[in-house]
Amino acid sequence: MIPRYSPKDVASLFTDEHRFDTMLEVELLAAEGLASIGVLKSDEVAMLRKRRPVIDAQFVADVETREAITNHDTAAFVDVVQERIGMPEAAWVHYGLTSSDVVDTALCRVLTSVMDIVIADVEALRDALTRRAVESISFPITGRTHGMHAEPTTYGAKFALFALQADRDIERARAARTAIAVGKLSGAVGTFSNIDPIVEEYVCEHLGLLPVPATQVIARDRHAQVLYACAAIGTTIEQFALEVRHLARSEVGEAEEPFTAGQKGSSAMPHKRNPVLSERLCGLARVLRGYLQSGLEDVALWHERDISHSSVERVIMPDALTLTVYMLRKAAGLANGLVLHPERALENLEVHSLGLVFSQSVLLSLVESGLSRDDAYRIVQGAARRAVEERRNFRAVIDEDPKVTLDAGTLDRAFDAQRLLAHQERFLDALTWRS
């Protein structure tokens, strides 16, 4: 992932240094596992640990140099490790293992660590949305369906629904973490032909992974599940950001992104405060969904394995997870800092909607008075059309309509926004994690 979208704590987990260091730990744990069943002597394992090479930029460069000869990156890695450790102990490095034992188990260990970060950041986004829901649950705003004025809702209801979706993302992320927190050290084609299953159990236990049956590689539906969790999170963020973009439009003006001192909204037009962060998040969500497509195509491999997934994963796994964390942190900042304009929302609701948002209330009042639903509907529909064409308030048109025989008190109740919003607290009741 390009530096612009790379949080340092996540990016550091996908460096070559960290990857090789995790692979080396798998190798050393495997040697310890062999010692536990008497294949190695304890002093040989102790010497391997003592001579554990430092994984730094020079180590990475040496592996790259060696790979130019072997044309096999894991073989090059093993060669450099053995050279650093020295014989005779180095002969036990990679004993009975195949490349995927080390690479797949190390990758799953890294992905598990990153998923812990993802889960914490989704929780932070959910909590930010929850806080905004609580503080704005009573702020009326025009609801919109098909992009047109519908009935009133509240800012808080919007935030609560986004928080509920983020909470579902947490569950998806936790499930994906469980799916990827696995390892395998069962050798070529996964039959333990040259390695005891006890070694696999030993290594996985020390890495916090669950040993699972596998071919030569860990099944890639697990990796696809991680990518789906990322794509789902990105789509939740996109939905929230898209709402911000709509509410920030000049003709709506009901919310705007935080605008810091010295910030410029446009290089040409100084009055602009463009929702650039929301637009960025909507765009990046598309990228995340693209990674999921590639991950799904990685699931079907030839027989016990091929290597078509490897090149794809080197790109999509680091990029998808790094980008997910970046988006989550930016979205949490947006949720916390979003500026609401409840006075403009009330103006849009009471004035610019022409009162048409109360059409259903008038319809139901007419039905209650004894009219058939269709007759009542046609009366209200006609009055609404006149209000639009004449640019007059819907209540005034209704008051003049001889077909509407409702008394003033009934009409007052029909046009009461607070009556329609009497049950908004139910949105907060659904936020069960709220303290």
The residue from 42, 193, 266, 372 that is catalytic is 266
CA distance between the termini of the chain: 37
The domain over range 356-414 is classified in CATH as 3.40.190.10: no
CATH 1.20.200.10 domain position(s) in the chain = 96-344
pLDDT of 264 reads 80
List per-residue pLDDT tens for the chain, 435 residues long: 899 999 999 999 999 999 999 999 999 999 999 999 999 999 999 999 999 999 999 999 999 999 999 999 999 999 999 999 999 999 999 999 999 999 999 999 999 999 999 999 999 999 999 999 999 999 999 999 999 999 999 999 999 999 999 999 999 999 999 999 999 999 999 999 999 999 999 999 999 999 999 999 999 999 999 999 999 999 999 999 999 999 999 999 999 999 888 888 777 788 888 999 999 999 999 999 999 999 999 999 999 999 999 999 999 999 999 999 999 999 999 999 999 999 999 999 999 999 999 999 999 999 999 999 999 999 999 999 999 999 999 999 999 999 999 999 999 999 999 999 999 999 999 999 987
Q: Are the C-beta atoms of residues 97 and 195 closer than 8 Å to each other? A: yes
Which fold would CATH assign to domain 96-344? Fumarase C; Chain A, domain 2 (1.20.200)
CA distance 129 to 416: 28
133: tokens are: 């829901």
CA distance 210 to 194: 20
CATH 1.10.40.30 domain position(s) in the chain = 356-414
CATH 1.10.275.10 domain position(s) in the chain = 1-89
Which residues touch 79 (CB under 8 Å, ≥6 apart)?
A: 66, 70
Q: Does the active-site annotation cover 266?
A: yes
Q: Are the C-beta atoms of residues 142 and 349 closer than 8 Å to each other? A: yes
**Could you tell me whether strands 255-256 and 210-211 are parallel, antiparallel, or unpaired per DSSP bridges?**
unpaired
Assigned CATH for 1-89: 1.10.275.10
Which residues touch 52 (CB under 8 Å, ≥6 apart)?
A: 24, 28, 85
Q: Which helix (H) or strand (E) holds 210?
A: strand 210-211
pLDDT of 266 reads 79
pLDDT of 131 reads 97
- The region that residue 96 occupies, defined by phi over 0 for left and psi between -120 and 50 for alpha, beta otherwise, is left
Per DSSP, the three-state class of 275 is coil
Other beta carbons within 10 Å of 399: 13
Q: Are the C-beta atoms of residues 99 and 74 closer than 8 Å to each other? A: yes
Q: Are the C-beta atoms of residues 185 and 99 closer than 8 Å to each other? A: no
